């Protein structure tokens, strides 16, 4: 079967999976030993309470938005907007998490295709993955099918592996990542330096980018252990031929240091918090007020 014919079939198989986790036509996952928290998450997906927010990724040379990270938020009917810290640990270790991840990927690719047409022709979207996705051999096929569905080139997508994913415990991970690379889909390690990923993984897996966690950025504008650590990580990444994005940038002083270190991309509240799709389009249209460091 040719790659061109495989992609539509991959999309069909993905949608069959989503339908298989549906109840009365709406997404619903069957999970063994379902806890009250799982049931609430199932109801949230069923009643379309999950939303995708976007945080700008900024090119430091000119403070221009060149991409975004897509982030899932839970708009709870009584508790309001809940960030991932309030539900991700449970959600992304279940079959429902796999469905939500593909749903988020589909929405994010749709938005990215629109923004490439209307605002930034080289716009790139970064989307988080979860362990259940990475453990399946058909993941590259599913991802490619979603890209084709929205006429989005593979080079416009970057999949992020969060640091809480134990890479060594995922079967056939290297093969999956190599197949993604072969499809021109890049892979980044998110929150680098705070979890399971190590130098060994950067050397053994086809990783193209690291995203430095905000924990190393908070004291970046004054001499500190964090500043020295961040500097070392950036220097190591550059020597390994990896791209670097720094997260959690909040001050002009941090921005100035990052530019001096040779960092080319960043995201953080200095530029914008994660926002809705409509609000993000306003940022693309009008920009934001950041004094060049």
CA distance 190 to 211: 5
Q: Residue 3: pLDDT above 50?
A: no
User: What is d(CA 150, CA 53) in angstroms, rounded to the nearest whole number?
Assistant: 19
Phi-psi region of 25 (alpha: psi -120 to 50; beta: other; left: phi over 0): left
Cα gap 187→159, rounded to integer Å: 5
Mean per-residue pLDDT, 172-191: 93
Average pLDDT estimate for 160-178: 84
Angle at 75 between CA 72 and CA 78, to 5 degrees: 155
Q: What is the mean pLDDT of residues 259-265?
A: 89
Percent of the chain with pLDDT over 90: 47
Q: Is the pLDDT of residue 149 over 80?
A: yes
Phi/psi of residue 142, nearest 5 degrees: -65, -45
**β pairing state of 243-246 and 265-266:** parallel
82-112: burial string, b at 16+ Cβ within 10 Å, e else: beeeebbebbbbbebbbbbbbbbbbbbbbbb
Share the mean pLDDT of the chain.
84
For residue 40, pLDDT over 60 is answered with yes
Instruction: Note whether 66 and 125 are within 8 A (CB).
Output: no
290: exposed, middle or buried (Cβ count in 10 Å: 0-12, 13-18, 19+): middle
Instruction: Give the C-alpha separation, 282 to 76, whole Å.
Output: 25
Evaluated on CA atoms 293, 269, 211, 115, the torsion sign reads negative
pLDDT in tens, 111-140: 999 999 999 999 999 999 988 899 888 999
Per DSSP, the chain holds a count of helices (H) and strands (E) of 11, 11
Measuring CA to CA, which residue among 189, 191, 222 is closest to residue 204? Answer: 189
Listed range (85-99, 123-137, 234-248) with the worst mean pLDDT: 85-99
């Amino acid at each position: 079967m040719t790659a061109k014919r495989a992609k539509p079939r991959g999309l069909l198989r993905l949608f069959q999976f989503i339908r298989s986790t549906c109840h009365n036509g709406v997404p619903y996952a069957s999970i063994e030993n379902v806890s009250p928290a799982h049931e609430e998450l199932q109801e949230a997906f069923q009643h379309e309470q999950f939303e995708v927010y976007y945080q700008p990724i900024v090119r430091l040379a000119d403070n221009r938005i060149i991409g975004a990270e897509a982030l899932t938020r839970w708009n709870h009917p009584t508790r309001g907007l809940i960030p991932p810290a309030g539900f991700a640990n449970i959600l992304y270790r279940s079959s429902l998490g796999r469905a939500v991840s593909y749903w988020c990927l589909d929405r994010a690719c749709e938005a990215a295709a629109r923004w490439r047409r209307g605002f930034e022709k080289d716009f790139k979207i970064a989307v988080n993955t979860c362990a259940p996705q990475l453990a399946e051999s058909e993941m590259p096929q599913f991802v490619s099918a979603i890209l084709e569905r929205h006429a989005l080139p593979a080079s416009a997508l970057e999949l992020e592996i969060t640091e809480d994913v134990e890479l060594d415990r995922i079967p056939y991970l290297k093969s999956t990542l190599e197949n993604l690379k072969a499809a021109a889909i890049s892979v980044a390690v998110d929150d680098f330096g705070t979890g399971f990923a190590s130098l060994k993984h950067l050397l053994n897996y086809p990783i193209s980018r690291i995203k430095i966690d905000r924990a190393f950025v908070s004291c970046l504008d004054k001499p500190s252990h964090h500043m020295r650590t961040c500097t070392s990580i950036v220097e190591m990444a550059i020597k390994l031929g990896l791209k670097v994005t720094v997260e959690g940038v909040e001050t002009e002083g941090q921005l100035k240091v990052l530019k001096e270190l040779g960092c080319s991309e960043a995201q953080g509240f200095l530029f914008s918090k994660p926002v809705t799709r409509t609000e993000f389009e306003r940022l693309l249209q009008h920009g934001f007020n950041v004094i060049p460091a």
